Each structure stands twice: as structure tokens, then as C-alpha cells.
Amino acid sequence: MGHAAAAPAVGRRERKKQATRAALREAALRLCVRHGVENVTVEQIAEEADIALRTFFNYFSSKEEAVMASVSSAAEELIAQFRARPRSESVLRAFREAVLVAMDDGDAVSRDHIEVLRLIRKAPSLVPQQLVVLAAQEQALAEAIAERVGLPAPHPGEPQAAEPTGDSVYPVVCAAAVLSALRVVLDRWLQQAAASDRPPSPALLARQFDVAIAELATGLDRPGRSRPRL
């Protein structure tokens, strides 16, 4: 994925923890792509990463969580890209640009994300952990949208007004809509790539995502209307 604004400097201990987490995440994905999720154990992942087994459980509770950590990293990068977009851009424009920057096929995080999406299609055991990651991403994006448009950040679990206003639900609905559009486009993109036995084309993904975002911009109650500029 592309790189957002520079993150604050972290200490040596935190860098070591990040490196250990990345090594386990990459080892889990590498082994599961090679052998299939059902044929890989956490012991093998720890050995592949050259890290003690007990250390594995300091970072992940299961091999599924370790594999899905690549999607978590991609989700965090996408939110960072969205937050870095100019405030003059609309929410949809900012999200579109963030996705196009993030889906950089020359970046390791992006490549790992695509590999996990392919794995999920073959390994249903990854789906529960995928739902956890998607829920966290949706909440983080809703908070970023609320910040961008000057609305209170949504907080799951807190009491809600008896009569929700458009302002109160806008960040949550918007986040759910754009992420659903992205998931649909990614799924269709991977299906088309699998059918042709060719590597997925980032240019095709960009065109398909443009269409999906334009449909959201025009409104879903009248499909096929002329598509406005975002």
C-alpha cells in the first residue's frame, strides 16, 4: 500500500514488537498460502518465523488471527490514507483517493492483503476473524468520517438518542456503505482474475471502484442516473 503521512517516531522496544508481529504475520500467510490454512499449525508458524511458540501467543490467539493480521494492517493503512486526504475533498472523493493510493501492487502490505482475500475464498475458517477485522475497520472509518465532517464520533455501546438524526447516523452509514462497495469490487475483481488466470489488474480495480463510488454518489434509489463528479 502507499504510504500516508509519517508516523510519530517509536522507541526501540516498540519497533522490536512490531517486527516480531510482522514476522509472525508474514510466516502465517506464507505457510497458509503454500499448504492451506487447515494444514498449518501455530507451531509451524513460530518455527518459520524463528520465534518461540510462547511468544506467538503474546501476539495472536490463533493461526487465523495471525493470517488476518495482514488485512488488519491494510485496513489501518487505508484509514491513515483517508485521514491524510485534504479536507477540501468530499468524503467519497477522499475515500476513493485513499483506496487508489492504498491498492499499490508494488507494496508488500497490499500484496499480502490480496493473498489473504484469495485464501478466504478457499478457507471458511478465516471468515469469523475476517468479520472481527471488518467491524473494527468500519468503526475506525466512521470515526475518521465524523472528524472530517465535524460530527461527534460514534461510540458503539453508548446509549443512543431515541430519535436518531441524520447527523448522528451519517458517519456510520457512510462508512458501512463505502466499505461494502469496496468489498464487492474486490470480490468481483478477484473472481475475474481467477477466471482468466492472470494477475489482478490494479487499473481494472480502479475503474470498477470508480463505478461503485459514483453509484453511491448519485444515490441508490435511482440506478443508472448520470454520474456526477465527486
The stretch 60-78 carries a mean pLDDT of 93
Query: Which cell numbers hold the place of 141?
Result: 472509518
Q: Answer for the pair 11, 90: CB distance below 8 angstroms, yes or no.
A: no
Residue ranges of the domains in the chain? 10-60, 67-218
Least confident residue range of 30-39, 152-161, 204-213:
152-161
pLDDT of residue 225: 58
Angle at which helix 127-149 crosses helix 63-84, to 10 degrees, equals 20
Is residue 215 helix, strand or coil? helix
Mark out the alpha helices in 150-165 (DSSP H runs). none
* CB contact at 8 A, 119 and 129: no
2-11, 61-70, 209-218: least confidently modelled range:
2-11
**Helical residues (DSSP H) of the chain, grouped into ranges:** 12-35, 42-49, 53-59, 63-84, 91-102, 108-122, 127-149, 166-196, 202-218
| pLDDT of the residue at 103 | 76
CATH topology of domain 67-218: Tetracycline Repressor; domain 2 (1.10.357)
Write down the residue that cell numbers 493503512 correspond to: 77
Return all residues near 67 (Cβ < 8 A) that are at least 6 apart. 25, 28, 29, 32, 37, 116, 119, 126, 129
* Closest to 110 in 3D by CA, of 82, 79, 70, 67: 70
Q: Which residue has the cell 480495480?
A: 205
pLDDT on residue 39: 96
pLDDT tens digits, one per residue of 76-124: 999 999 999 999 999 999 999 999 888 765 566 677 888 888 899 889 9
Q: What is the CATH architecture assignment of 10-60?
A: Orthogonal Bundle (1.10)
Length of the chain: 230
What is the dihedral sign for C-alpha 207, 74, 93, 168?
Answer: positive
Convert the pLDDT of each residue in 162-183 to its tens digit: 555 556 789 999 999 999 999 9
Q: What is the pLDDT of residue 226?
A: 47
More confident residue, 132 or 2: 132
- Quote the CA–CA distance of 77 and 62 in Å, as a whole number: 23
Closest alpha carbon to 72 in 27, 135, 121: 135
| Averaged confidence pLDDT in the chain | 85
